[in-house]
DNA sequence: GCCGTTTTCGGCCCGACTGTTTTCAGTCG
């Protein structure tokens, strides 16, 4: 069992207990445990075998016993019992924005509604507004949010899909007779969500591959099968399409699988114009193998990276020799949005810095939350001063690595920042973000954010649109005006690498680039593990056609400090 | 539930917003 699978049980347990109206602190303890377990770097089973579960911070005697039960039996009795008692659909209802345990309970008791589907129907029929405390606005919010969820039904976050794809590909690769395995499709193009995983396998014989795949613990059943293609359902609810081809056809199969359809068709058309075909002209044979670059080269085109293959002008740019030199993970020299134990992070400043060093970074910026964000233990002004003193003294000890003093300052509902300008001025780097009053109207929200963009002390605007993929829509915002303001003030916009944020997204980041706005790719990490998510931010930047020069944190430390001073 | 200790209980979490009301409960970050 993977750590996050154990964590998930406690996460769900907390939701179930919340529905039952259990003690707040007990629920918080379970939530905290789920978070800590999901962030562990060592496999939980190892810690368990050493008998050191209760040594994990946030895990006491009781939760340790429950983890023991989960690892020994594969499930948790208390969790299963609650699932029997409470319809699982209620948890989904509770996860809708604006609906918590009380309202879900009310909806269940008064309307007999226990699933999203039933709730959508009840809302459309105007039955929800009859409940105390709920009116027509709540009703239309419910409908909108359920529709948003339906839109992405069956789609999963890129990071989740990549994890599963990596595990399956690693497994298939070592089978006898298998020479190459790669994921194609939207996953290879690094789309923010994917509908299913496409794996292309080069193997001498398809049958042994499929037999082995079916035996993999993550695989539930084969759902379709035609020729050399197999579709199966996994334990994670993600479908996998497996295409098994002889090695000489691997590259063309991968190329086709990668798509996008529009890009593929365009290339196909251009090849046809030269009397060529992907299928017949790029099948390898004895002494001759092809790579994707050969397909492009036959059209006198440079290799087009999968992230660009969306038919958004990449073929035309390639024809004119104007393809960007896309930013790469190795261009990144530091992380400019990091939380620590001073606010709601799980790692200390020293730990986060040490990890950054291991990654080969030259710097990080410690940007803990500001005073108003109470739930995240936002730092009081005095604590902030104290933290910055502590960081300066740390910097004196390690000469070749720089920790920037910073803050993620809240952009307050009425505009203005949650920290006086004198203090912001002293910090090396200021990220300003919205964490409250998401439902303001477009005009108010736009003015609010522009007030931060125009503040001379603000360097970067964090997660600009506030969306959480599949969970929360972006707030109402005149993006065009915000971009204009950022361009004219030289304010930097963040590409937040969190797999459920990816905010700015590819489209908006490309717009920003066209306006000459610089961007910072940051993880917003709250623990060591999530510092690894930088690659997802980089993938957004690549899909947005960004080059190293567009990105603030590709700068060396000296260049960065000079740049920040001049702003 | 966990944690820490002033060592076995008391503290941990709080203010603002929203949609509904007409004074506030529920939700959120």
B13 C1': nearest CA residue = A375
The pLDDT of A17-30, averaged and rounded, is 89
B15 C1': nearest CA residue = A374
**Nearest nt (C1') from A437 Cα:** B17
CATH number, position A162: 3.30.460.10
Same domain for A301 and A358? no
Q: Is the pLDDT of residue A430 over 90?
A: yes
| pLDDT > 70: percent of chain A | 100
User: In sequence order, what E strands does A159-261 have?
Assistant: 178-183, 193-194, 196-203, 219-226, 229-234, 239-245
Q: Which two tokens stand for residue A322?
A: 């104007």
Contact call for residues A55 and A40 (beta carbons, < 8 A): no
Give distance CA A472 / C1' B7 (Å). Answer: 46
B12 C1': nearest CA residue = A25
Looking at mean pLDDT, say which of A333-347, A437-451, A544-558 comes out highest. Answer: A544-558
Same domain for A267 and A235? no
Q: Provide the positions of strand B that have an atom within 7 A of a protein CB.
A: 1-3, 11-21, 25-29
The pLDDT of A360-377, averaged and rounded, is 90
- Angstrom CA distances, A307 to A30, A49, A541, stand at 39, 42, 9
- The domain total for chain A is 4
Residue A226's domain spans which residues? 154-255
**Nearest nt (C1') from A137 Cα:** B19
Q: How far apart are CA A78 and CA A1, in angstroms?
A: 18
CATH number, position A17: 1.10.150.110
Give distance CA A120 / C1' B5 (Å). Answer: 52
Q: Which two tokens stand for residue A284?
A: 């390898």
**Nearest nt (C1') from A106 Cα:** B26
**Nearest nt (C1') from A60 Cα:** B2
The pLDDT of A542-552, averaged and rounded, is 98
B14 C1': nearest CA residue = A374
**Nearest nt (C1') from A376 Cα:** B29
User: Which residue do the tokens 């998930």 mark?
Assistant: A8
Give distance CA A133 / C1' B21 (Å). Answer: 8
**DSSP secondary structure string for all residues of A6-75:** HHHHHHHHHHHHHHTT--HHHHHHHHHHHHHHHH-SS-HHHHHHTT-GGGSTT--HHHHHHHHHHHHHSS
Same domain for A317 and A345? no
The pLDDT of A262-274, averaged and rounded, is 96
Q: How confident is the model at residue A286 (pLDDT cuts 50, 70, 90)?
A: low
Give distance CA A71 / C1' B11 (Å). Answer: 32
Note the pLDDT tens digit of each residue in A85-142. Answer: 999 889 999 989 889 888 999 999 989 999 999 999 999 999 999 888 888 889 999 9
**Nearest nt (C1') from A471 Cα:** B28
The pLDDT of A503-522, averaged and rounded, is 97
Same domain for A69 and A195? no
Q: How confident is the model at residue A423 (pLDDT cuts 50, 70, 90)?
A: very high
Same domain for A403 and A515? yes
CATH number, position A303: 3.30.210.10
Q: For A384, what's the count of Cα atoms within 13 Å in the CB-facing half-sphere?
A: 27
| pLDDT > 90: percent of chain A | 72
Give distance CA A236 / C1' B2 (Å). Answer: 31
Note the pLDDT tens digit of each residue in A180-196. Answer: 999 999 999 999 999 99
Same domain for A178 and A92? no
Give distance CA A407 / C1' B4 (Å). Answer: 30
Q: How far apart are CA A167 and CA A379, in angstroms?
A: 40
Q: Is the pLDDT of residue A419 over 80?
A: yes
More confident residue, A318 or A39: A318
Contact call for residues A539 and A320 (beta carbons, < 8 A): no
Q: Mean of the per-residue pLDDT values for chain A?
A: 92
Give distance CA A340 / C1' B8 (Å). Answer: 31
The pLDDT of A455-459, averaged and rounded, is 94
**Nearest nt (C1') from A140 Cα:** B19
Q: Where are the alpha helices (DSSP H) in A230-303?
A: 250-258, 261-273, 278-281, 292-297
Same domain for A238 and A109? no
pLDDT given for residue A344 in this prediction: 87
Q: How confident is the model at residue A538 (pLDDT cuts 50, 70, 90)?
A: very high
Contact call for residues A63 and A33 (beta carbons, < 8 A): yes
Same domain for A127 and A37? yes
Give distance CA A123 / C1' B21 (Å). Answer: 21
| φ, ψ at A84 (rounded to 5°) | -65, -40
The pLDDT of A370-390, averaged and rounded, is 87
Of A255, A273, A294, the last residue of a domain is: A255
Q: Is the pLDDT of residue A284 over 80?
A: no
pLDDT given for residue A328 in this prediction: 98
Same domain for A427 and A547? yes
| φ, ψ at A3 (rounded to 5°) | -55, -45
First to last CA, chain A: 50
CATH number, position A368: 3.20.20.140
Same domain for A137 and A224? no
Give distance CA A40 / C1' B7 (Å). Answer: 30
Closest among A498, A463, A487 to A477, alpha carbons compared: A463
Closest among A103, A33, A117, A42 to A70, alpha carbons compared: A33
What is chain A's alpha carbon radius of gyration, rounded to the nearest angstrom? 26
Same domain for A99 and A220? no
B11 C1': nearest CA residue = A25
Same domain for A335 and A319? no
The DSSP 8-state label assigned to residue A216 in this structure reads S
Q: How confident is the model at residue A375 (pLDDT cuts 50, 70, 90)?
A: confident
Q: Is the pLDDT of residue A285 over 80?
A: no
Give distance CA A57 / C1' B4 (Å). Answer: 13
Q: How far apart are CA A490 and CA A203, in angstroms?
A: 53
Give distance CA A399 / C1' B18 (Å). Answer: 50
B25 C1': nearest CA residue = A133
Of A129, A151, A173, the last residue of a domain is: A151
Note the pLDDT tens digit of each residue in A331-344. Answer: 999 999 999 989 88
**Nearest nt (C1') from A61 Cα:** B2
Give distance CA A418 / C1' B21 (Å). Answer: 31
**Nearest nt (C1') from A29 Cα:** B1
Q: Is the pLDDT of residue A380 over 90?
A: no
Sheet containing A429-433: order of strands: A334-338, A363-366, A402-410, A429-433, A460-461, A492-496, A519-522
- Angstrom CA distances, A216 to A8, A86, A172, A182, A212, stand at 22, 32, 10, 17, 7
Q: Is the pLDDT of residue A287 over 80?
A: no
**DSSP secondary structure string for all residues of A333-371:** -EEEEE--TTTT-SS-HHHHHHHHHHTT-SEEEE-PBBT
Of A131, A151, A171, the last residue of a domain is: A151
């Amino acid at each position: 069992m993977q750590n996050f699978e154990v964590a998930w049980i406690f996460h769900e347990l907390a939701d179930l207990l919340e529905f039952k109206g259990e003690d707040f602190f007990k629920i918080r303890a379970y939530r905290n445990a789920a978070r800590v377990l999901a962030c562990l770097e060592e496999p939980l089973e190892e810690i368990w075998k050493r008998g050191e579960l209760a040594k994990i911070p946030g895990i006491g005697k009781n939760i340790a016993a429950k983890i023991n039960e989960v690892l020994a039996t594969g499930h948790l009795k208390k969790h299963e019992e609650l699932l029997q008692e409470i319809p699982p659909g209620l948890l989904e209802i509770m996860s809708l924005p604006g609906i918590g345990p009380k309202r879900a309970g009310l909806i269940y008791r008064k309307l007999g509604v226990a699933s999203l589907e039933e709730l959508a129907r009840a809302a459309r029929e105007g039955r929800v507004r009859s409940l105390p405390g709920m009116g027509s606005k709540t009703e239309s919010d419910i409908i909108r949010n359920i529709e948003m969820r339906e839109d992405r039904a069956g789609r999963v976050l890129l990071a989740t899909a990549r994890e599963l794809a990596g595990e399956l590909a690693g497994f298939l690769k070592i089978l006898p007779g298998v020479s190459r395995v790669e994921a194609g499709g939207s996953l290879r193009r690094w789309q923010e969500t994917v509908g299913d995983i496409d794996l292309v396998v080069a193997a001498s014989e398809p049958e042994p591959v499929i037999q082995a795949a079916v035996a993999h613990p993550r695989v539930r059943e084969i759902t379709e099968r035609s020729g050399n293609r197999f579709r199966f359902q996994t334990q994670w609810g993600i479908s996998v399409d497996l295409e098994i081809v002889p090695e000489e056809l691997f590259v063309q199969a991968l190329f086709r699988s990668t798509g996008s359809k529009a890009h593929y068709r365009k290339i196909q058309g251009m090849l046809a114009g030269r009397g060529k075909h992907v299928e017949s002209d790029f099948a390898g044979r004895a002494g001759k193998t092809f790579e994707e670059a050969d397909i492009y080269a036959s059209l006198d085109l440079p290799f087009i990276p999968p992230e660009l293959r969306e038919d958004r002008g990449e073929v035309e740019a390639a024809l004119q020799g104007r393809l960007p030199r896309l930013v790469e993970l190795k261009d990144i020299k530091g992380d400019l949005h990091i939380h620590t134990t001073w606010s709601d992070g799980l790692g200390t400043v020293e730990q986060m810095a040490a990890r950054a060093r291991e990654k080969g970074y030259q710097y990080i910026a410690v940007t803990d939350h500001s005073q108003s964000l109470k739930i995240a233990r936002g730092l009081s002004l005095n604590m902030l001063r104290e933290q910055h003193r502590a960081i300066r003294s740390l910097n004196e000890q390690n000469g070749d690595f720089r920790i920037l003093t910073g803050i993620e300052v809240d952009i307050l509902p009425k505009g203005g920042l949650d920290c006086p300008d004198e203090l912001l001025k002293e910090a090396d780097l200021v990220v300003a973000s919205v964490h409250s009053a998401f439902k303001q109207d477009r005009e108010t929200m736009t003015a609010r954010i522009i007030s931060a963009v125009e503040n001379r002390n603000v360097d970067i605007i964090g997660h600009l649109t506030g969306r959480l993929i599949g969970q929360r829509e972006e707030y109402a915002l005149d993006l065009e005006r915000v971009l204009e303001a950022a361009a004219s003030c030289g304010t930097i916009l963040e590409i937040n690498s969190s797999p459920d944020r990816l905010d700015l997204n590819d489209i908006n980041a490309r717009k920003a680039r066209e306006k000459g706005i610089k961007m910072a790719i940051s993880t917003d990490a709250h623990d060591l593990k999530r510092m690894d998510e930088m690659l997802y931010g980089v993938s957004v930047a690549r899909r947005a056609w960004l080059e190293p020069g567009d990105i603030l944190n590709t700068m060396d430390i000296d260049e960065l400090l000079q740049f920040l001073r001049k702003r």
